[in-house]
Structure 1
C-alpha cells in the first residue's frame, strides 16, 4: 500500500509520489483495500453506502481518474453524451433537448436522454451507470446536493444547466434579472401587493429568483408575498387559487409557465378574469404560452442556446486536445415578454 497523500503548498492533497493519484492512493486515504476502491467505483451497489461515500470523497480530493475513464477523456471512447432532465413531459426541456441534440450531432456524438423523474435517487443512480456508457453528462435542473454534484464532476466530464456550484462547469439562464423586469412592469401598472408562487424548495432556480425578487421589492418599497407549492413537482395541477385570494395580491409572478397556465385555467373556472381582476407573469416562455387565454406575459430565455453552450463546454472537457479553452461558467441573458395576462391593477373600493 502506498504512503498516505501529503498536503501541497496550496492546501490541496497530492499523492505522496508526486504523480497522478492511483487506486492505491485512494485506498490509503480512505483506509480500505484497493480492491474495495475498485468495487466502489465500478459497481457501487456491492459496497456499503458509508464506505462508498468515504472512497468517493477520497477520490474527489485526490482528483483520481480510473484508467478506463482516463482513456475515455482522451479518446471519446463511447462517442455518446447523456442529457439528464428532471421531467421529460415539461415543455421547458424540449428546447434544451433540441439544442443539445443538434450540437452533439454536429460534433459526431450520440445523445442519451434520461428522465430522472424529479428524483435525487434516480439521478444519482443514472450518473453511476453512465460512467461506463457515456463520455460526459449534462444535468438540467439537478436535484442532487452540492456535495454529490462535486463528487460526480470529479468522476467524469459534467456540465450543469441552471445550477451554480464552485468547481462545477455550468450554464445559467439569468432569469432573476428578467424576474425583476416583471416586478417593475407590474409596479408600472399600479400593483403594490404582488405574490410570488415559487417552485420546489430544492430548486436552485427558485432560490435565485426569490432572492433577487425579494431584494428588488425591498428597494422599490413594495410588498411581495412568497407562496410555496404544497407538493414537489411544478405542474399545472398544483396551483391553489385560494392562496392568491387570501393574500390580497392583485398580481403574481409564477415559478414557471406550466403553473401559470394552470392558474389562468383555475381562475377562469371561478369567474376571475385576467388581467382585469388579477395579473399573472410566468417564466420560461414555453410552447403554448403565447396562445393560451389570455396569452401569457412571461420571462423569455434562450433555452435552446443553453443546450448548445452546455454541449460546447462539455466537449472541451472531453477533448482537451482540440485546443478549446474550457469555460467554467456561461450566463445567458433573458428578457420579459409582455402579453395579455397582465394589466392595470383593479380599482380599490
Structure 2
C-alpha cells in the first residue's frame, strides 16, 4: 500500500493524506481521522527512509547520559524511549562514561543521524554545548544554559530538605560529599545546602569534587570522618552507599554513629542495608518531559521553544540510614 492508496480511500488529495500522517496540526480533525482510518484499514505503513529523504527528518532522537551503569539513568531512558515511540520516534542512547571528550564526539556523531538530542547531566563547558546546540536542537536535563531548553529536577529543594532533616534530628556538624567537577547538580546542592545549614545554625563541610560512584563514596570516607560530622549528604545514592561501605570498614555504624542521606531514590538505595534515606528525583517524568520539549521544537519550528524550561519537584524519603546523633561521640 502507498500513500496514494490511502488518499484515494479517504477521498482526499495525496498531499492532504501526507500532511494528515506527518503534520496533523495542519489538517482539519475530521479529515485527519478519515485519513488515519483509511491507513489503518489498508494496513499502510510509511516508508521512513523515503520520508527522511523528502523531509530531511530521520524521526530518530539521541539521548546521551554520563554513565549508563548508574541506576539513576535507566528509568529516565526507558521513559524517554517509550514516550518517543508513541510519537513515532526512535531513540539512540549513548554513554559518555563521564568523559567530556567522548561527550563532544558523541554529539557530533549523532548529529548526522538524529533530528535532536537530549543531553542528561552533561559535563561539557557551557560555551561548547551552546556552540554544538547551534546546529542541532538540544534539550538539557539537569543543566541550565541560556538559549537552550531544559528539564531541571529541583535538587536544591532536596538538599535543603536533607539539611533540615538532619538538623531536626539534632545534628550540628554535617558534611556534603559533592560530585564531579562541572556538575550542575553538585553546584546546586552546594549552594542550597550551604544556605540551609547557615539558616539552621549548623556547620557544613563541603568535600569534593568526587567521582559519582560507589568507589567515590568509599574514597571520601576518611575525609568525612576527619570533619567530625555526624550527618553526611552524598552526591547521589551510589556515593551514599559507598560511604556506608567505607564507614563500616572504619568500624562506624550507620545510623547509630553517623547518619547518611543519598540523592536519586534508586533501587540500589532501597535494597541497601540500612535502607537509604534519600532525595527522590523524578527521573521518569524528566525523560518524558525532555522528549516533549524536543518534539515541540522539531514539529513546530518555532524558536521560542528553544528557551522552554521545566522544573520538576523532588522530595525527601526517610528510611533507615538517618537517626539522632549519638550523644556519646566526641
Q: Which TM-score tier does this pair reach, normalised by the shorter chain?
A: 0.7 to 0.9
How far apart in 2 are the matches of 1:76 and 1:300? 40
Cα contact 1:76–1:318 (8 A) shared by 2: no
Q: 1:140 offset after TM fit, Å?
A: 0.5
**Mapped pair 1:82 → 2:53:** no
DSSP-derived class of the 1:289 partner: helix
* Equivalent in 154, 158, 162 of residue 178 of structure 1: 158
Candidates 207, 213, 236, aligned match of 2:214:
236
Using the TM superposition, give the Cα deviation of residue 75 of structure 1 relative to its aligned residue in structure 2, in angstroms.
3.8
Partner of residue 325, structure 2: 345
Which of these residues, 291, 296, 312, is aligned with residue 332 of structure 1?
312
Mapped contact 2:146–2:307 kept (Cα < 8 A): no
- What residue in structure 2 maps to residue 130 of structure 1? 110
TM-score (norm 2): 0.80
**Match of residue 122 from structure 2:** 142
Deviation at 1:227, TM superposition (A): 1.2
In the TM superposition, residue 215 of structure 1 has moved relative to its aligned partner by 1.4
Root-mean-square deviation (CA, aligned residues, Å) is 1.9
Question: Are 1:269 and 2:276 counterparts?
Answer: no
SS in 2 for 1:237: helix
Q: Normalised by the size of structure 1, how large is the TM-score?
A: 0.75
The answer on 1:151 being equivalent to 2:131 is yes
Spell out, residue by residue over 1:151-197, the C-alpha distance to the aligned partner (whole angstroms, 9 max, x if none): 12211111000001111100000011011011111011110000001
CA contact (8 A) 2:277 2:319 kept: yes
Whether the 8 Å contact between 2:67 and 2:97 is mirrored in structure 1 is yes
Conserved in 1, the CA contact under 8 Å of 2:100 and 2:123?
A: yes
Between the aligned partners of 1:225 and 1:325, the Cα distance in structure 2 is 40
Q: How many residue pairs end up in the alignment?
A: 275
Worse overlay, 146-155 or 135-144: 146-155
Structure 2 alignment gaps of length 5 or more:
1-50
User: C-alpha distance in 2, partners of 1:217/1:76?
Assistant: 53
Q: Distance in 2 between matches of 1:165 and 1:129?
A: 22
Instruction: Name the one with the larger helix percent.
Output: 2
